[in-house]
């Protein structure tokens, strides 16, 4: 019985150490561009798959297509340099019925403490080339990109405060 308890405690400690050491999984580079190139290589995808590189609130985000889904990576920065950090799985959108588009959202917390909401979506109607986002009375247009027809936006407000509609 004592050996079993010892093994359980050792496993718990190992999981704790691994969980606390996640930052060490980031491969640090001297520049953002090197971090992006290294990250795309880690993801086993080509530079051509990048839909855009966005700057938002002094943070850098890379949106790219991979395996039919949308990938979102954050370029972390520290005294060690710049590193590729993709904390969310690839996103794709399954459709039942005759939807023109579908959306989803997730939150990301930066190393600086800044929290950002990422709105992602996919259009299924080829006549839709842009989407309109209405947030606190402010309207902005978001282009539909890539062969899989993805769109996305970064914002600081919760998703339920943002209205999304297609522009045909």
Tokens of residue 95, six digits: 């459709």
- Say if CB 90 and CB 67 are below 8 A apart: yes
pTM over 0.75: yes
Across the chain, what does the average pLDDT equal?
Answer: 86
Higher-pLDDT residue of 96 and 1 is 96
Q: Is residue 6's pLDDT more than 60?
A: no
User: Are 110 and 153 contacting, i.e. CB atoms less than 8 angstroms apart?
Assistant: no
The pLDDT confidence band at residue 9, using thresholds 50, 70 and 90, is low
* pLDDT at residue 13 in the model: 46
Residue pLDDT, tens place only, 129-152: 999 999 888 999 999 999 899 999
pLDDT for 89 equals: 85
Q: What is the per-residue burial (b if ≥16 Cβ within 10 Å, else e) of 64-94? A: bbeeebbbbbbbbbeeebbbbbbeeeebbbe
E strand residue ranges, 57-146:
59-66, 69-78, 81-85, 101-109, 115-123, 130-135, 138-143
pLDDT band at 106 (very low <50, low <70, confident <90, very high): very high
pLDDT for 136: 82
- Quickly count: other Cβ atoms within 10 Å of residue 36's Cβ: 21
In this structure, what token pair is assigned to residue 153?
A: 């936006």
> Quick one: which of 91, 107, 98 has its CA closest to 150?
91
**Domain ranges (residues) in the chain:** 26-167
Confidence of residue 158 (pLDDT cuts 50, 70, 90): confident
Q: DSSP code of 26?
A: S
């Amino acid at each position: 019985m004592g050996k079993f308890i010892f093994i359980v405690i050792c496993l718990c400690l190992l999981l704790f150490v691994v969980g606390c050491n996640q930052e060490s999984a980031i491969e640090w580079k001297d520049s953002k561009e090197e971090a992006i190139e290294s990250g795309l290589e880690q993801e086993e995808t080509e530079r051509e798959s990048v839909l855009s590189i966005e700057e938002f609130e002094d943070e850098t985000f890379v949106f790219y297509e991979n395996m039919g889904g949308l990938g979102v990576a954050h370029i972390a920065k520290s005294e060690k340099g710049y590193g590729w950090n993709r904390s969310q799985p690839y996103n794709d959108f399954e459709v039942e019925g005759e939807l023109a588009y579908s959306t989803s959202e997730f939150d990301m917390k930066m190393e600086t403490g800044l929290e950002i909401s990422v709105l992602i979506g996919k259009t299924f109607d080829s006549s839709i080339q842009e989407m309109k986002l209405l947030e606190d009375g402010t309207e902005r247009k978001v282009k539909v990109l890539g062969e899989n027809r993805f769109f996305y936006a970064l914002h600081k407000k919760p998703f339920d405060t943002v209205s999304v509609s297609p522009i045909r």
